[in-house]
Amino acid sequence: MTSIDHYAVFGSPIKHSKSPRIHKIFATQTEQAIVYAAQEVTAEQFSSAVSTFFDHDGKGLNCTIPLKEIAWTYADSKTARAQTAKAVNTLIKQNDGSILGDNTDGIGLITDLINNHNINLAESRILILGAGGASRGIIGPLLEQSKHPIMIANRTIDKAVNLAAEFVHKNTVKGCGFSDLRNQQFDLIINATSLSLTGQLPPLPDDLVAKNGVCYDLAYSNEPTAFVRWGQQNNALKSLDGLGMLIEQAAEAFFIWRGIRPKTSPVIELLNAERNT
Ligand code: NDP
């Protein structure tokens, strides 16, 4: 009898997550016997929920808002990219029973921007809104692509400044508050705050998007998110949400867990078509 391996995504809120659907499609496409569930887990519940999952033979977990930084402290060992990010979105149970933490958010975003949307990252002046777990995961990979300094703006200014300081050896990264964005323009503005989940926006000046600039919301939704709408209203050439990144980061996690890389373009096409109907 073929045994079925168990995977899950933990987070709060988790009801909106498309990850179970995506991994189910990947499993069918690659003929892998897995189940993938979504479980509401708060920061306080994290440690005991993860231990229970792996004690009951779970093979791998994804961690989403607000758990990525706690997952980093939980993992017994980390990949280089997770170590740099100090945030983990993928946990892997290893043969010796220890838990390895990885971060596939950065590669997921970069793959979506470059392969799926033809964005020239090398020439882009990039602004990241937010300094939480997702922001941590994307800064290192974006720095590797861009020739320009990267700006991080956050409600809690100290968090943006401290996060920028962690990456300063690689290239110039600056941290600031939203009010410091006046009279500045960016070619790529990435919303890594959690505000779109509640239909809200950070306070942004109207002239922030450079000519032919692109807006990208890490959040995704069947309807355009508040930030996607803001980009459309403020002259962005493209205003995108994070569905492509979600699918690309999931494909990377699936590859780590199963050793086989699923094709992402049919899944992106399918999920986009579903939300347009
Ligand atoms: P965190 O909880 O770690 O960080 C939240 C961020 O949002 C912080 O910078 C926080 O600022 C900011 N924020 C929260 N409330 C407010 C507010 N009222 N006003 C201004 N800023 C606020 O979340 P994550 O980093 O894990 O996730 C961020 C977003 O990215 C979520 O929407 C998530 O769904 C999305 N995401 C999408 C992925 C994808 O594959 N498409 C992958 C990863 C994340 P402060 O520091 O001041 O509290």
What's the CA gap between 69 and 223, in Å, rounded? Answer: 29
Q: What is the pLDDT of residue 60?
A: 98
Residues 50, 38 contacting (CB under 8 angstroms):
no
pLDDT band at 210 (very low <50, low <70, confident <90, very high): very high
| Distance between start and end Cα atoms, the chain | 40
Same fold for the pair 5-104+249-262 and 106-243: yes
pTM score of the predicted model: 0.95
Is 137 a residue whose pLDDT tops 60?
yes
Architecture of domain 106-243: 3-Layer(aba) Sandwich (3.40)
pLDDT above 70: percentage of residues in the chain: 98
Q: Which atom of ligand 1 is nearest the CA belonging to 105?
A: 42
Ligand 1, CB cutoff 6 Å, lining residues? 65-66, 68, 105, 108, 130-135, 154-156, 159, 192-197, 202, 218-220, 242, 245-246, 249
Q: Which of 131, 47, 129 is CA-nearest to residue 85?
A: 131
Is 198 a residue whose pLDDT tops 70?
yes
Is 143 a residue whose pLDDT tops 80?
yes
Q: What is the pLDDT of residue 1?
A: 54
Question: Could you tell me the sign of the dihedral formed by the alpha carbons of 170, 228, 198, 35, in that order?
Answer: negative
Separation of CA 203 and ligand 1 centre (Å): 15
Q: What is the pLDDT of residue 66?
A: 93
What contacts 71, CB < 8 A, 6 or more positions away? Answer: 46, 50, 63, 87, 88, 89, 91, 101
Q: What is the pLDDT of residue 197?
A: 87
pLDDT band at 234 (very low <50, low <70, confident <90, very high): very high
Region 164-190 average pLDDT: 91
pLDDT band at 20 (very low <50, low <70, confident <90, very high): very high
Q: Which atom of ligand 1 is nearest the CA belonging to 248?
A: 40
Q: Which residues are catalytic?
A: 68
Kindly list the distances between the CA atom of residue 256 and the CA atoms of 33, 172, 202, 223, in Å, as whole numbers in the listed order: 15, 31, 35, 31
Which of 213 and 169 is assigned the larger pLDDT? 213
The domains of the chain are located at: 5-104+249-262, 106-243
Best residue among 10, 88, 155 to mutate for probing ligand 1, ranked by most atoms within 8 Å of CB: 155
Task: Encode pLDDT of 59-106 as tens digits.
Answer: 999 999 999 999 999 999 999 999 999 999 999 999 999 999 999 999
| CA angle in degrees (0–180, nearest 5) for 179-185-189 | 85
Place of tokens 């607000």: 66
Q: What is the pLDDT of residue 167?
A: 87
What's the CA gap between 153 and 237, in Å, rounded? Answer: 22
Residues 121, 113 contacting (CB under 8 angstroms):
yes
The number of beta carbons lying within 10 Å of the beta carbon of residue 250 is 27
β-bridge partners, 152: 128, 175
Which of 151 and 169 is assigned the larger pLDDT? 151
Separation of CA 132 and ligand 1 centre (Å): 6
Separation of CA 196 and ligand 1 centre (Å): 9
Q: Which atom of ligand 1 is nearest the CA belonging to 137?
A: 43
Q: Which atom of ligand 1 is nearest the CA belonging to 196?
A: 32
Is 2 a residue whose pLDDT tops 70?
no
Region 37-50 average pLDDT: 98
Instruction: Name the H helices within 68-206.
Output: 68-74, 80-85, 105-111, 133-145, 157-166
Residues 141, 109 contacting (CB under 8 angstroms):
yes
DSSP secondary structure string, 222-264?
Answer: SSPPHHHHHHHHTT-SEEE-THHHHHHHHHHHHHHHHS-PPP-
Average confidence score pLDDT of the chain: 95
Is 168 a residue whose pLDDT tops 90?
no
Task: Encode pLDDT of 96-106 as tens digits.
Answer: 999 999 999 99
- Shortest-distance Cα residue to atom 18 of ligand 1: 195
Q: What is the pLDDT of residue 171?
A: 62
What's the CA gap between 2 and 145, in Å, rounded? Answer: 43
The number of beta carbons lying within 10 Å of the beta carbon of residue 206 is 9
Separation of CA 173 and ligand 1 centre (Å): 19
Separation of CA 215 and ligand 1 centre (Å): 16
Q: Which of 30, 213, 216 is CA-nearest to residue 116?
A: 216
The CATH class, in words, for 5-104+249-262 is alpha beta
What's the CA gap between 140 and 18, in Å, rounded? Answer: 26
When mean pLDDT is compared across 17-21, 25-29, 166-170, the lowest value belongs to 166-170
pLDDT band at 110 (very low <50, low <70, confident <90, very high): very high
Q: Which of 217, 229, 248, 241 is CA-nearest to residue 135?
A: 217
Task: Encode pLDDT of 241-250 as tens digits.
Answer: 999 999 999 9
Task: Name the pairing type of β-strands 173-176 and 186-191.
Answer: unpaired
Q: What is the pLDDT of residue 259?
A: 98
